[in-house]
Amino acid sequence: MAKTLQAAVVAFFMLCSLFPVYAQGPLDELDVYVEKLKSSKATGGSETAFMSIGSDFLYAQEYFEAKNYSSAAYSFMAIVRRQKDHPFANYQLAIALIRQNEPEKAKQAQEYLQQAFSLLPTLKERYSKDVPGASSASTTSSETKEPSNSKEPATRKPAQGLAAYIASLKHSYATGGRETQMLSPGQEAHSGIQYFEAGEFGSAETSFSLSLARDAQNPYVNYLKAVSLEAQGKGASAQPFYQKALQGDASLKNQYAQDVAAAKASWAKLQASKEVKVTPPAKLVYGGTLTYGKYTCHQSIWNGPNASPAYRFDYKGYFELKKDGTYRWLDDGGTGRYAYNAKTGAITWLSGPMKGQSPQSSKFQKGTTVAQITLAFSKNYSWECGCKK
């Protein structure tokens, strides 16, 4: 497979020698390789045959071009594991990691960049375009090269200090390292740290407890659980974990008070943001200048507890208020007289059909575009009658 790739690169340079410079356009080796794979796929060529490196590369490239860099990195990584000396897979893997904008993944990318540059130095020129402002020299320096956590030795030196421990877990999680592998104490600790940093100390406490169930002696997880408990006002429960943390790293005592204060403030802020702020209903204002005209009425009936919908609205008819103190029910209905109190909005039906209905109260609201008269017959039975102005 490596010979096939080498032959493709040689063919590229031979192809370039057959055409004038202007015919090459802006394409570089990687562009030509991708176009060649796309052509192979379109014509059923052998380079993109089933299970081939070319087929896998094109699959990863589709993710890359769609800017799904996480999936692209995963797919390019699979190619690199099969063929370590594939310059384009190493390069695209590095760029996909960098473009996820996570510091630990950017560090991980350096290993694959160095490998790509050593296999095909001309990729450095492309790198300066793909990552503007980056120095290709710095990416190939052995001083900046970061080892891949996926290959870290079993006797990895323990992290020193809380900050270093947290950074170590984040790096392991970003690079698929052993510290945060499935069912490990580090996996639960990393989950707890994510909750901790978001101020979700209840969930953080749960994750740290799961981590301690697998490694009860870890001073930093004990410390973080203690701070999480303190943040929630569980100081007494926090003390055993705090004391165990000090047994493993006495220097944690120097930052405990400050960390607890910050955590309590974060917790209080988060809880305040979760409070449902109930806006009191606007105070109903009755009275004012009475609006004359036809009021269309609907009956509002409460359907009882746990009913959906809670209310139903049935059309009941309409009545017309006139300036002379009389009203008519429907166009051909009975008539009667009424009295109106402008201060309270109360309407008293002196005679006619509405007096016969005997509402407990009848109140007028002038509204903005629609005037309303509410006829209350009981606590759960009323009519809302509206008149457009």
Q: What is the DSSP letter of 149?
A: G
Does this model's pTM top 0.85?
Answer: no
Residues of the chain with CATH 1.25.40: 2-145, 160-274
pLDDT of residue 15: 43
Q: CA 362 to CA 353: how far, in whole Å? A: 14
Quote the CA–CA distance of 208 and 173 in Å, as a whole number.
Answer: 16
Contacts of 152 (CB under 8 A, 6+ apart): 177, 178
- Mean pLDDT for the chain? 85
| Nearest CA-CA partner of 332 in 347, 351, 353 | 353
| Topology classification of domain 2-145 | 1.25.40
Distance CA 308, CA 131 (A): 58
The CATH number of the structural domain formed by 293-388 is: 2.40.128
Measure CA of the first residue to CA of the last residue in the chain; give whole Å: 84
For tokens 């169930």, name the residue.
213
CA distance 295 to 142: 86
Secondary structure letter of residue 200 according to DSSP:
-
The pLDDT > 70 percentage for the chain reads 86
* Whole-number Å distance between alpha carbons of 117 and 131: 15
What is the fold, at CATH topology level, of the domain defined by 160-274? Answer: 1.25.40
Task: For residues 314 and 299, give the distance between their C-alpha atoms in angstroms, rounded to a whole number.
Answer: 5
Q: Which of 13-17, 282-286, 385-389 has the highest mean pLDDT?
A: 385-389
How is residue 187 written in tokens? Answer: 């996996």
Residue 251: count other Cβ atoms within 10 Å of its Cβ: 11
The pLDDT value recorded for residue 311 is: 84
Q: Using an 8 Å Cβ cutoff, are 335 and 324 in contact? A: no
pLDDT band at 147 (very low <50, low <70, confident <90, very high): very low
357 in Cβ contact with 305 (< 8 Å):
no
List, for residues 234-281, the tens digit of each pLDDT value.
Answer: 999 999 999 999 999 999 999 999 999 999 999 999 888 888 877 888
Distance CA 9, CA 201 (A): 55
Least confident interval from 11-15, 243-247, 282-286, 358-362: 11-15
How many CB atoms sit inside 10 A of residue 319's CB? 26
Residue type, 106: A
Q: Strand pairing partners for 317?
A: 297
Q: Where in the chain is the domain with CATH 2.40.128?
A: 293-388
pLDDT of residue 22: 32
* DSSP per-residue codes, 257-294: HHHHHHHHHHHHHHHHHHS--PPPPPPP--BSSPPPEE
